[in-house]
Amino acid sequence: MLNPHLRQAVASAAGITHAAELHLVQVSSSGATGAVILHAWLAGERNPRVVVKTPRDSRLHHTLRTEWDAVRALRDDPTLARLIPAALATFRLDGAEYFVYEGARGRTMYSRYRNRILWSRAGMLERFATQALDALLCIHTTSSRAVAAPEVAADLQRDLAWLERTLHDLPRAVSGTARAMADRLARSHDCLPLGRVHGDFSPYNLVTENMGRHARVALIDWEHSELERPQHLDVFRFIGACALMGLRGGSRLSAFAHMPTRDARLTGRLLRPWLEQMGGAAAPAWLEPTMLEALWWHYWVHAARREQERRATPADSAGATYLPALTRLAVQTPTDWQCQSGGAYAT
């Protein structure tokens, strides 16, 4: 793939005269529907000068075009521009479309977690949550309005209806529990913010220069951005990804069961202050165990739909992450999960 024509095209997009001086590293998103990504820089540079994306599967190029359009539009807002690497250029080569972005300074949170030495898991994830809060508020407050709980419940029901239409083997227990949670949300008298969401707000897509509380943060991968969705979905995406990060087997299953607990560290570090600053007086009501569980189910159903939409065959649930977990959540108690996993879970 890294042929001379591609190297020259990337060099031109990066503003480099001599293509031979350009260092290129190829990485890829996981899964068949991801992107092939090139990082390009010159000797002595600590961060990529440009990041180039092209679809792994040409049939699914629309996700990268969606990201390109979103980034160009969002960077017109000066508040958001400081978070988002600029969209620089596009080009076609050998039948493939390439999208070139400004490189972000630093490393993703996931990279920092994977290579940690002195930080504990709990301490590192709590610091990530602190760093993520300002970025979340920046994204959400630029386009947000308070909506009544029934509108949030309807959003859950739409995602569930999509799963039911697409997956003929969706367990009845999942449908029944999700509907019960939607009814629980609809009965609330409190509001939640609705507006712009990143759509994949996770440690894999937040780039930081260091671990400082006020470190510069950049946010990448905007292909799932939407203008009108319940904004707590971004918060739960981050907390859920942190809770699962680095876990395998029974520990991963136990993590799912414990995510809704009110005293989870990341709930206190991120969800509580986010609710207080976005929703004000309604924050305590949404942190009550029954409502917190309903909000988690909203996120899980949404995440299950998004996971299936990314597949070349959406009706194929083999190897899915969220659907097996949702099935267990619907039919077992947290105590059952803890016994099966040996109680191994810690955020």
- Secondary structure class of 107 (helix, strand, coil): strand
At what angle are helices 322-331 and 289-309 packed, to 10 degrees? 150
pLDDT at 168 over 50: yes
* Range scoring the smallest mean pLDDT among 27-31, 49-53, 163-167, 189-193: 27-31
Mean pLDDT of 262-271: 82
* Mean pLDDT confidence for 46-68: 83
Compute the average pLDDT of residues 34-46: 87
Does the pLDDT value for residue 122 go beyond 60? yes
H/E element holding 191? strand 191-197
Q: Around Cβ 125, how many Cβ atoms within 10 Å?
A: 25
Report d(CA 51, CA 39) in Å as an integer: 5
Per-residue pLDDT for 140 more than 70?
yes
CATH number for the region 4-102 comes to 3.30.200.20
Across the range 223-235, mean pLDDT stands at: 95
pLDDT value of position 264: 76
Q: What is the mean pLDDT of residues 32-51?
A: 85
What is the average pLDDT value for the chain, to the nearest integer? 88
Euclidean distance between CA atoms 62 and 9, whole angstroms: 22
Q: For domain 107-341, give the fold.
A: Aminoglycoside 3'-phosphotransferase; Chain: A, domain 2 (3.90.1200)
Tell me which residue of 220, 243, 250 sits closest to 85, measured CA to CA.
Answer: 220
Q: Return the number of other C-beta atoms located less than 10 Å from residue 342's C-beta.
A: 11
pLDDT in tens, 279-316: 877 899 999 999 999 999 999 999 999 999 888 788 98
The CATH 3.30.200.20 portion of the chain extends over: 4-102
Give pairs for 149-152: CB < 8 Å, separation 24+.
149/185, 149/186, 149/187, 149/188, 149/189, 149/190, 149/191, 149/192, 150/185, 150/186, 151/194, 152/185, 152/192, 152/194, 152/230, 152/298
pLDDT reported for residue 263: 60
What's the burial of 148, exposed, middle or buried (CB within 10 Å: 0-12/13-18/19+)? Answer: middle
The residue count of the chain comes to 347
Dist. CA 84–CA 147, nearest whole Å:
27
Taking alpha carbons only, the member of 123, 130, 109 closest to residue 273 is 130
pLDDT of residue 33: 54
Residue 335: predicted pLDDT? 47
Cite the residue boundaries of each domain of the chain with CATH code 3.90.1200: 107-341
Mean pLDDT of 75-104: 93
Whether 88 has a pLDDT exceeding 90, the answer reads: yes
- pLDDT 10s digits, 1-30: 568 888 899 989 888 888 888 888 887 765
pLDDT reported for residue 281: 73
pLDDT of residue 324: 87
Q: Is the dihedral of CA 25, 30, 31, 34 positive or negative?
A: negative
